[in-house]
Structure 1
Amino acid sequence: MAEQDSNLVRVPTCYATCSIGMNSPASLLEKLDALSAAGFEAIELSFPDLLAFAKSHLRQDVSEKGYDSLCTAAEKARKLCDARNLKIALLQPFANFEGWPHGSPERSDAFERARGWIRIMEAAGIDTLQIGSSDAQNISSSQDDFAGDLAELADIMAPKGLRIAYENWCWSTHAPTWENVWQIVKKANRDNIGLCLDTFQTAGSEWGDPTTSSGLIEDGGLDSASLDRQFAESMKFLTLTIPKDKIYFLQLSDAYKMSPPLAKEADVSTGLRPRGQWSHDFRPFPLTDGYLPVVSVTKAVLDTGFRGWFSMEVFDKNEERKYGNDLGVVAKRGMESIQELLKEASR
């Protein structure tokens, strides 16, 4: 467990493989060694890490849909984790799944990919698939359509004992907030669909803004004090609204206040909207160099009674400059950050 102080809440700890050594050529094996040594109990297995591992392990080119090879690599990854007392708690990030028109090639591709990822989950012994709320442009805006797609996939997964953790991505086209995805999960109404909540995604959708000098949302007409009160009410509503057993994961990160602010338009080269760019490169460990109210989000989730996975998912382009190339140092700092966050949220 993360904490050593008997007064603190006890939670299991996890770390997303994509978010350690993100600026280095570290192998999956090196990441596993560092995270195990730091005391983490599990990993989120990131698909890009599995793909790179498959190419290295099998010594051949492997495509993103080379599921036979990916399953072979997933079985090996499971053995490597077992040897280091690490559970693979989640496979991520599955993107742009829901909302495509029935009969469209995009919808066929989404379900084809999902079935391939299910095969990987079975090979690796993973029971949870993280799906991020879609940022595609040409999808439905109907929550009923999103819920229907998730329910259909959940019904495919249920006989295999698998579940979906649905996460709001703050740059999503139609579901950027925790309340958006919670409404969709309720409409889907399946026992094996729950939430992946995230301190960055929650605060970054309702309070922070990388396109303003203040770092705060300004287009709603609220001053900073009113914005704080509105966010506090949202966190109170989260606590009172979401049952603890419908939260499958809590991912942890903060955000840098952008100086200069990001442009309000999507990036020309990547197509990412401002909050997507912010998410991709500017998410440090909680309580280090960021400014979002991550303690408030953490406390709100804990106050539901949730005591599941606390998972570090940071994307800090300054990681190498701050911590060097030693993954052990980064992993240890990640564990310290979880302990500090728990202390603050438990006050």
Structure 2
Amino acid sequence: MTSITASSLQQIPLSYASCSIGCGASDTLPRRLEAIGKAGFTAIELSFPDILDYAGQLNGYEVPPDDYEELAKVTRQIYADCKANGVTVMMLQPFANFEGWPKDSRERKEAFERANGWMKIMEAAGTDMLQVGSTDSPAGKISTDRAQIVSDLRELGSMLAKNNFRLAYENWCWSTHAPSWKDVWEIVRDVDMPNVGLCLDTFQTAGSEWADPTCSSGLIENASAGTVQQRFARSMEELAQTVPAEKIYLLQISDAYKVSPPLENKDVKGLRPRAQWSHDYRPMPYDGGYLPIMDVAKAVLKTGFRGWFSMEIFDAGPQGKGKKYEMEPFAKKAMENMQKLLKECVTES
């Protein structure tokens, strides 16, 4: 495993997800880009819903999500806005529910049509990376057969490769078939393509095997803190020892609130409990969360990875009911806390 030196962390590029700042209609995408750029981040993860919202603002009407020509036109304007604020588009996200559909199904056909459309948007954004979240459609609708999942992602990887694009595969901790870092790593390993790698995430990693928002303790299986920590430490050691640095494309950074009272163990508005948790209860580091995000960051850095660290937070307050703030101070604080996280990851001066 690689030691983590202060000098090596100075080269890490820092990004911010466009969808994870702002708390009202007046916080438009151009204003968000301005706040992100002023805080010193050099890139954004561009969120597809942000493109749709901005398209509506520019055109004065709601643009359909499959009108890729118009959305690409809007994205070219976003590219110009990014350039004016000193940031680039590091990745387009979140491409969801792609893999696992039955071979001749309408859903599979639509998934590939969507992939082709999003590639037009990637070109307009000037990015080479597409984030793909592990499918959370219910078992029974999708196949959880690992061979089919690998085959589907290999086919998508081949499509992307024609444009020199990359696929960053992320475990969502509520995913039907791949909720953990190890699940997505084994899939990426078996896909075995040079342009298919991992999008790792401090929240998703700790949220899948350390924490549980439906338990009163906040810990998975309501187990003792010692037991949970021992298992998690072994998992992080395995990550550090087994995942090649070049197969990690980025690490997303966020924490989570311990929900009190716990979330009910049932779907709400189509969202599983961990998806609800992800949607509203994710503060930036050092701002009220309780996950062992430092352990995740250190494990990833011990692989030798020194690529993108990207702030992706969804902070609606400890009760998930909303949080008001000014964007520029908020983005500045996010940068300060990101730098603090990096400093605390150092194992060698």
TM-score w.r.t. the length of structure 1 is: 0.94
CA contact 2:198–2:248 (8 Å) conserved in 1: yes
Instruction: State the Cα distance separating 1:89 from its structure 2 match.
Output: 0.3
Query: Who is 1:183 aligned against?
Result: 186
CA contact 1:131–1:166 (8 Å) conserved in 2: yes
Instruction: State the Cα distance separating 1:126 from its structure 2 match.
Output: 1.1
CA contact 2:15–2:309 (8 Å) conserved in 1: yes
Instruction: State the Cα distance separating 1:121 from its structure 2 match.
Output: 0.4
TM-score w.r.t. the length of structure 2 is: 0.94
Deviates most, 311-320 or 58-67: 311-320
Instruction: Give the partner amino acid of 2:304.
Output: G
Instruction: State the Cα distance separating 1:141 from its structure 2 match.
Output: 1.0
Query: Who is 2:16 aligned against?
Result: 15
CA contact 1:8–1:346 (8 Å) conserved in 2: no
3-state SS of paired residue (1:15) = strand
3-state SS of paired residue (2:250) = strand
Instruction: State the Cα distance separating 1:79 from its structure 2 match.
Output: 1.1
CA RMSD of aligned residues (A): 1.8
Instruction: Give the partner amino acid of 1:136.
Output: S
Tell me the distance in 2 between the aligned counterparts of 1:271 and 1:321.
18
Instruction: Give the partner amino acid of 2:341.
Output: L
| 2:201 aligned to which of 188, 198, 209 | 198
CA contact 1:88–1:125 (8 Å) conserved in 2: yes
Tell me the distance in 1 between the aligned counterparts of 2:166 and 2:8.
29
Tell me the distance in 1 between the aligned counterparts of 2:94 and 2:7.
34
Alignment deviations for residues 221-242 of structure 1 (CA, whole Å, 9 cap, x no partner): x532121111001000001111
Deviates most, 50-59 or 238-247: 50-59
Instruction: State the Cα distance separating 1:346 from its structure 2 match.
Output: 1.4
Tell me the distance in 1 between the aligned counterparts of 2:164 and 2:273.
37
State how 1:109-128 maps to structure 2 within 5 Å: 109-128=110-129
Alignment deviations for residues 12-34 of structure 1 (CA, whole Å, 9 cap, x no partner): 10000100014554111000100
Tell me the distance in 1 between the aligned counterparts of 2:143 and 2:23.
33
Q: Percent sequence identity over matched residues? A: 51
1:336–1:323 CA distance, 2 compared to 1 (3 A): farther
1:231 maps to 2:248: no
CA contact 1:256–1:290 (8 Å) conserved in 2: yes
Unaligned runs of at least 5 residues, structure 1:
none
3-state SS of paired residue (2:89) = strand
Tell me the distance in 1 between the aligned counterparts of 2:6 and 2:233.
28
Query: Who is 1:261 aligned against?
Result: 262
CA contact 1:35–1:331 (8 Å) conserved in 2: yes
Tell me the distance in 2 between the aligned counterparts of 1:256 and 1:315.
11
Instruction: Give the partner amino acid of 1:218.
Output: E
Alignment deviations for residues 256-311 of structure 1 (CA, whole Å, 9 cap, x no partner): 001000111111xx111110000000000012200000000000001111111100
Query: Who is 1:156 aligned against?
Result: 159
Tell me the distance in 2 between the aligned counterparts of 1:31 and 1:180.
34
1:257–1:327 CA distance, 2 compared to 1 (3 A): same
1:216–1:66 CA distance, 2 compared to 1 (3 A): same
Query: Who is 1:307 aligned against?
Result: 306
Instruction: State the Cα distance separating 1:323 from its structure 2 match.
Output: 7.4
1:145 maps to 2:144: no
Query: Who is 2:94 aligned against?
Result: 93
